[in-house]
A and B are shown apart, each in its own frame.
Chain A
Amino acid sequence: MPVGGASRFASYLGVVKHLRRVAAISSSAATEFQGFVDALPAQGLTGPEIVECQLPAGSGTTAGARAGATGPTVLVVGSFEPRKNHLAILFAAETLWREGLRFDLVLIGGMGWGDAVPRLVSRLRRVGRPVIMRHRVDDASLREAYASARFTVFPSLHEGYGLPVVESLAAGVPAITSNFGSLAEIASGGGIVTIDPRDDVALTDAMRQLLIDDALLARLRAQIAGRPSRTWSDYADDLWRGLVAPERQVLASDARHPEPVP
């Protein structure tokens, strides 16, 4: 987190503790909110009821990756900040380039904070490594980037959901992501290779595997095509059931009984 982020989030939690219900976007996020609620008896409060409403995750098929300037493209989407773990990806890529593998590395994301990633990317480009950083990418270009990637890499250290992995699935493109929390939840549906994001060697091995093993890639693509699709309508229905419907029942019984419902 950047310095100062914590206090804003703490203020937000100050509101959350007086809510009746919270719909968490993943079961990992639900566990985090439940932990916060568990701590509230110490200040004499009950806190909200936490329900879990998974965000939608589509599944798609890809026309097949297109080669970049020097080989297949490995795509990384996410703002440039330490949590997204770009330094581990750059280390893995450099290791694989030195092994003689040929691939383009494309990093797309907002400018985040910290200057370590841009500095490293500059160093790599100076010695001719095929890596590019792109900011301010519109939706069409982003779709195009997913569609032409061989696979995506998202070894984030912490996510409530992990949109780039979901986008990758929607484009029919396999992904490498972290083996815990919300990312592991998404991965359990298939089409994804999970690794410990704090283990550089595991990340390097996974990227090497997906670069050289066409059969594995095909299997992962087939798994993605077979994933159940969850739509925004499904999500909206779940939200209504989780957040609004129970409160309407409470209001209805309040109207019958003037005493507050415990």
Chain B
Amino acid sequence: MSPATLTAGSADGFLRWANHRSEAIRRARSARLRVLLGALAVPPAQTTETLVAQLRERLANPSADELWLALAVLTATLPGPSAVERAMRSCRLDGPLAAFDEALHARSLAGYLRHRRDLELSEVVVLTGEVVVDLHNTASTTITTGIQRVARETAKRWQRTHAPVFVAWHPRRAALVRLTQHETAGEAPAIGVATQSPGADRAVLVPWRCTYVLPELMAELPRVAALQGLFRYSGSTSAAIGYDCVPLMVPETVASDAVVNGFAAMLAGLSHADRIATISEAAAVEYRGWRRMLAGAGLTGPHIAAVPLPVHADRPTRTTLEQARARFLTDELPMVLAVGSHEPRKNHLAVLHAARLAWRDGVRFGLAFIGGAGWGADTFRREVEELQGAGHPVEVHADVADDQLWAAYALARCTLFPSLDEGFGLPIAESLACGTPVITSNYGSTLELAAGGGALLVDPRDDHDIARAIERLVTDDRLHAVLRKQALVRHDRTWDQYAEAAWDYLVLGKVRPPDDVRRTLAAIPGRRGYEQS
């Protein structure tokens, strides 16, 4: 036998691994060998030696997919592309057992495998033919961002109608575990949040020829590498919801470099996915531009189709309306409402300046902000205090519960949302669903939402334009009535319809008929650059 020059492992080393002196560990490892052979359609033998021999014979000349499966089952961790490439090279030079021995001892990225003990006994299950929905972030938090709202509302409906396998990532390594029904529904403390590490003792799932769906974001590097391996080698169809490309397209409006880098890593993973359902046509424009850029790396990239989000708001009760009236309204002035966290992209400094211009012209209204702290909001807070000091009716509200938010929309004269870039523009949809007219940006997804009626368009980079729109909507009752009526008769999707449309595309690969897409696009004024390539 030639010297093992490239492979840091040997067939003997693998036999020693399989024959560990602790009986519990030995049994767990034999179980994995059996699971692996079973998935490779080899009836597993009894003794460890025979199992190892079966494996050596079956994988003497393996495909990259088969090697991925073997590494995933043996290490109870989903390998990334570089691990698969390395194993393939070692396998070609020194045989499969040496390659596995090497992989089992490989140092992992970012110390993901440092806690080796709980790896040893994990049960590994190969899932075949299932739809696997990754709900890790959403199940790990009680915070409701726009993305989590979409993931939760969708998962809730899929659970009822399609019962897929909901999964999250193991607390300490790149492996998938099953979420309980309560965790999926957000009713139970989820993985990695409440206690030390629930989920560490659960069986590790290896999706093999499945459909994997990511309805949220993923930014942790070791997981992204594992995901890329899953996309490329598991023989599964893979699909994700695409929210926006904000971190890459307008990085100056993102809180930190880490967000940009995490997002770029996720895109690198998604470049090997099969389908991306964007939440608006505008987001599809961004994702298609990104896909075109992949050609330089010799990649084709996923199919991209818009599955626009629903327009929805809950109806507030009389009590919440009364509470909201006391909390948000000032001196019975008409209320202009701005919803969104205080961060540069939401353009709140322009909102303040436009309001100042309108007040100076004698327009009478109160300005209410509802939204979290965001980042880079020091100037915003200073200017709010200055305006308040000068006697202008402006208030900033944080920690507003959903029912209070619905009530605020219902009470507002109009909602002001001149954001610089959005994947969708949830506050527009929510306001319109309440019948409250909206002032928003004249391009991108906000324009697309406005096209359905009920909105006044402005150039968000022109404060005077925003000020004029405020003045018109506050003072012109007839215009206000027209827009309100438009908002109330819009034909928008419900969450049920969204969840079904998303399932049809992400899981079943059904695309809308081209005529239907053309009609949607035709309804968007100034849709330059929207045509599908």
Contact = CB atoms under 8 A, between A and B. Distances in A.
**B and A form one assembly:** yes
Contacts of A129: 5
A117 to B, nearest CB: 12
Nearest to B259: A7
B249 A44 contact: no
Contacts of B459: 44
B282 A7 contact: no
Interface residues of A, number: 50
B526 to A, nearest CB: 9
Nearest to A38: B289
B92 interface: yes
A1 B8 CA distance: 25
B296 A28 contact: yes
Contacts of B461: 44
B329 interface: no
Nearest to A85: B85
A32 B89 CA distance: 31
Contacts of A87: 85-86, 89
A80 to B, nearest CB: 15
Contacts of A14: 250-252
A92 to B, nearest CB: 9
B93 A44 contact: no
Contacts of A4: 257, 261
Given A7-B260, A123-B6, A200 B297 contact: no
Contact of B528 (A41, A90, A157, A158): A41
A41 B290 contact: no
A42 B421 contact: yes
B289 A10 contact: no
Given A10-B248, A82-B82, A41 B285 contact: yes
A202 B189 CA distance: 51
A199 B55 CA distance: 24
Contacts of A40: 249, 289, 529
B223 to A, nearest CB: 14
Contact of B89 (A10, A91, A198): A91
A200 B88 CA distance: 9
A236 interface: no
B444 A38 contact: no
Contacts of B2: 98
A212 B443 CA distance: 61
Contacts of A197: 298
A39 B288 contact: yes
A180 B298 CA distance: 6
B442 interface: yes
A62 interface: no
Interface in A18-66: 28-29, 31-32, 34-44
A73 interface: no
Interface string B236-267: 00000000010111111000011011011100
B291 interface: yes
A143 B288 CA distance: 42
Contacts of B349: none
A11 B251 contact: yes
A32 B296 contact: yes
A232 B88 CA distance: 43
Interface in B289-312: 289-298
A29 B500 CA distance: 39
B221 interface: yes
Main secondary structure of the interface of A (DSSP, over half): helix
A94 interface: yes
A150 B442 CA distance: 60
Given A38-B288, A41-B285, A41-B530, A200 B264 contact: no
Contacts of A198: 298
Contact of A158 (B86, B260, B289, B297): B297
B441 A10 contact: no
Contacts of A41: 282, 285, 443-444, 528-530
Interface in B454-473: 459-461
Given A41-B528, A42-B444, A44-B443, A35 B291 contact: yes
A216 B221 CA distance: 44
Contact of B292 (A6, A34, A200): A34
B420 interface: yes
A186 to B, nearest CB: 14
A157 B297 contact: yes
A98 B289 contact: no
B289 A39 contact: yes
B295 A181 contact: yes
A182 B247 CA distance: 27
Interface in A204-224: none
Contacts of A44: 441-444, 459-461
A261 interface: no
A11 B245 CA distance: 14
A36 B93 CA distance: 42
B295 A123 contact: no
Given A31-B292, A94-B6, A120-B6, A43 B89 contact: no
Interface string B334-358: 0000000000000000000000000
A13 interface: yes
A127 B3 contact: yes
B107 to A, nearest CB: 10
B260 A6 contact: yes
B216 interface: no
B264 A10 contact: yes
Given A42-B282, A43-B444, A200-B89, A29 B296 contact: yes
Contact of B293 (A35, A42, A94, A179): A35
Contact of A182 (B221, B294, B296): B296
A87 B293 CA distance: 25
B190 interface: no
Nearest to B244: A42
B307 to A, nearest CB: 16
A163 interface: no
B296 A13 contact: no
A40 B249 CA distance: 8
Q: Give the one of B249, B528, B530 with max A CB within 10 A.
A: B249
Nearest to A97: B5
B417 to A, nearest CB: 14
B93 A42 contact: no
Given A7-B264, A11-B251, 8 more contacts: A1-B264, A6-B264, A39-B249, A42-B249, A43-B249, A43-B420, A44-B442, A181-B297
Interface of B: 2-3, 5-6, 8, 82, 85-86, 88-89, 92-93, 221, 245, 247-252, 257-258, 260-261, 263-265, 282-283, 285-298, 420-421, 441-445, 459-461, 528-530, 533
Which 7 pairs across A and B sit closest by C-beta, in order of nearness?
A: A39-B289, A35-B292, A6-B264, A44-B443, A41-B529, A180-B298, A7-B257
17 contacts: A6-B261, A10-B251, A11-B251, A29-B296, A31-B296, A32-B295, A32-B296, A39-B245, A43-B249, A44-B461, A90-B6, A127-B5, A129-B5, A157-B298, A158-B296, A179-B298, A180-B297
